[in-house]
Structure formats: C-alpha cells, structure tokens
Amino acid sequence: MTATQPAADTTDQYSISHQIVIVGGGSAGITVAAQLLKQMRSLDILIIEPSEQHYYQPGWTLVGGGCISFEATVQPQQTLIPQDATWLQDKVVQFDPDQNCLHTQNGTQVTYDYLVVCPGIQINWNQIKGLQEALGKGEVCSNYAIGGATHTWETIKRFQGGNAIFTYPATPIKCAGAPQKIMYLADEAFGKNGVRKKTQISYCTATGKIFGVDAFVPALMKVVERKGIDLRTQHNLTEIRPDQKVALFAVSNGNETETISLPYDMIHVTPPMSAPDVLKHSPLAVEGPGGWVDVDKFTTQHNRYPNIFSLGDASSLPTSKTAAAIRREAPVLVQNLLAHMNQTPLMGQYNGYSCCPLITGYDKTILAEFDYEAQPYPSFPLDATKERTSMWLLKRHVLPWVYWNRMLKGKEHEGNFIRRLLPNTAFELSKKA
C-alpha cells in the first residue's frame, strides 16, 4: 500500500478502515509515521491532514529576524508523507473512540485499530479584541501567523523608534521562548538601523517571570538588563486599538486586576492558544480546562483508551510544546504502540525532555534543554545556561537540516547525530563564546 499523493477519492466513500490512523501531518504525525514504517514496513497507516503545505515553524523566528526567507520554511506536504503511508487530505470533525472511529469534514467515516492523535495546537486570534482586523497591517505583527514572520521583519526594518511591545499570553503556546527571541533580534536590528537609542522595548508577559524554567531565568534576566528592556510581568494583552495605536492589558496585582493602556509604534503579538475545539469536546480530552488529549506522561498512551496514543502540542504531556520535545516523544510512542499491538508491556518512558534554543542575538543562543523536573538536561557537556555562538550556529544551520532530512524521515535520534556531527566545532566555538 503506497500513496504519496492525497487520497482524494476516499472522500466519496462513506467508510474506510485502516490499521493505524494518525490525525495530523505536522512534525509529530510525519515523524511517528516514518519511524513506525522503519520498524515495520507492512503497517497499514493513514495520515489525516488538511494542509497542502508543511511548515518548519521553529524557523519563523529566523524569518522574523531577517535571517532566512519564509520560503525556506515550507515544503509541499505531499513530498513528506512516507512512501508506504496513505494521505487523506481532510480534517477530523468528530472522535468516537468507543466505536474506534472518527468522522471527517468531507463526510468520511474512518475506522481504526489504533489511533495516534497529534493535530497540533489551535491559535485563538479572536480572543484579543481588534487583533484579527489589525494583524499584518501597519505596526501589528506576529510570527505565529502563516507568513506573518515576513511582515514582522518588514515592520522591524522600517521601525523609526518609539515604543516596541512584545507580548506573551496567559495560555500554553508553541515554543514558550519564541516571543522573547524575536524581541532580542529586534533589539539588535534597531541598533544596526540607528534607532535603538530612541526606542523603548517592553516585554509584556501574562506570566510572573521571563521564562518558565527557573534554571535559565538568571541568564535571561542578564540579557534583559544588558539590552535595557522593560520587563512587565502579569500583563495579559486583551485588546488592540490600531486607529489609536494603543494596546490594552489586564494587569494582575494579587487578587485584583486592572486594565491599563500602553501606546505602541510597533507590537509583536503572541496570541492565546488551546487544544483544537474538536478535541475539547471529545471523550479524548482531559477532565477540566485545557482540552488536551489525556495521556500518561511517561508512556504517551491514553489514560482511558489503550489503543490511542498522543504526542506533540495537542497532548496533555506536561512539557514545552516544541519540535524538540516531539523528537524525544516520538520514539517512545512508537516503541509503546508496537508493544501494545504485540500485547507486551510498554517499556518506553518519556522523561519530559524539551529544548528551546533561546536566541539572544544574531550570534548568540542559550540552548535551554530541560526535563519534567525542570532541570537542565544538556546534550553537550557545557554550561547550558550560557549564551554561545556555537548554539546559534546549531539553531541557524544544523537544526533545520536535521528536521527536514532526519527527523521527518524517521532516522536516527537527532541528539546522537548532532553530537557526532559537531563535536569539535561546537566545543571549540563554545569555548570562545
């Protein structure tokens, strides 16, 4: 069974059936499918994914900072579907795990023996009043919009000084470091353009600190202080008024919340995010708020439906929502899914590893790697909290290549490969950084 093109004719069928169905053809879905087929080529795998294009979203900070083009982060979905998998270009609108089936937007009922759920995260632009109307126009930008990073770079280039605001919402998001990474690049771009001295940069975060993992906070605070950035915690963006060039924030102070307005000459918005609505209202979701797929944090197996697994942004795994986390989650899920199929114990254990290359300038990066214990979990025998040129080179040049050429092809664990690829270069440059 081979299909490297959309299975368009399946939409005319009322019901189709596959051994393994993967919902989502992003980083998680493609990686899992590729790894499963490397283990057992005879597996019958269906990937359900509506998008024509596949995006390397970790590269959008680099696009927003003028380092690479948006086109460098895009490839046709068709070219990435593993050769022995089938692609159904459609969207899931209902899960029925008690009947081992789901329903798609085009009216197809899909039954399965095993299900992997990884449709990604939902971006809720409409939760900030006025944002949808203002986004991508004038001074309002966001790297989280498809193609939006190009507008971010255009906004940074033409900025002539004044108030530049960068926001972080009161929800989980894709890559918790991304909102500040683009801010640090903007700071240096403003300096190169001669407008930094007449610019006030503010980082308005709904959280109580600069970063969620305490081990990296002191190093990042030094960056904030060195760059003269105004850090405003407990500031949650609620409204954009582009005609007045004003942003409204709900500011928490103990048990009280007040609304304040801040003028801007440029604002980069990180919008609220959540699990997709189709998951929130399904039996797969965790109880209570969130709506994430309810899985065991070590095995990635669903807590109520043993033939269902989940990873990536839509899962309840309590770690950062990054491609680096998926690279460690995927082998565990694959091992445990195959074990479950063979009716053997699930031995794979995910330790919560995630990685956020915190770009602090055009030649500096803190490679923040950590686990469920919120402790540094470095791939290299170096101080993980230090800014390094070598980690910038890793982020800028190596990781995109690894993503397209190894991760999505189900090849060897990227950590082992990178350690072999860059041992001397990384260590020598790190000593000089």
Residue 348 lies in a domain: no
Domain count, the chain: 3
**Which residue of the set 118, 204, 355, 356 is catalytic?**
356
Q: How confident is the model at residue 431 (pLDDT cuts 50, 70, 90)?
A: very low
Cα angle for residues 362, 416, 368 (degrees, 5° grid):
40
Residue 83 is classified by DSSP as: T
Question: How does pLDDT run across 243-263, given as a tens digit for each residue?
Answer: 999 999 999 988 899 999 999
pLDDT at 130: 97
Domain boundary among 256, 273, 290: 273
Helix (H) or strand (E) holding 252: strand 246-253
Active site residue 204: no
For a pLDDT cut of 70, what percent of the chain falls above it?
A: 92
- Are both 107 and 132 inside the same structural domain? no
Average pLDDT, the chain: 92
Among 6-10, 202-206, 332-336, 337-341, name the one with the lowest average pLDDT: 6-10
Q: Which of 273, 295, 312 is the last residue of a domain?
A: 273
Total length of the chain: 433
Same domain, 336 and 245: no
> Domain range for residue 381?
354-432
Q: Is 175 a catalytic residue?
A: yes
pTM value > 0.85: yes
pLDDT score of 247: 97
Confidence check: pLDDT of 409 > 90: yes
Please tell me the predicted confidence (pLDDT) of residue 309: 98
CATH number at residue 198: 3.50.50.60
118, 141, 175, 355: the active-site residue = 175
Q: What pLDDT does 288 receive?
A: 77
Assess whether 405 and 390 both reside in one domain.
Answer: yes
Report how many helices (DSSP H) and strands (DSSP E) the chain contains, helices first. Answer: 12, 21
Residue 146 has pLDDT above 90, yes or no: yes
Within a domain: 349: no
Residue 7, pLDDT score: 46
pLDDT digits (tens, 9 = 90+) for 179-199: 999 999 999 999 999 999 999
User: What is the pLDDT, as a whole number, of residue 254?
Assistant: 80
CB 204 within 8 A of CB 183: no
Looking at the fold, whether 239 and 313 belong to one and the same domain comes out as no
Q: Which pLDDT band holds residue 418 (cuts at 50, 70, 90)?
A: low
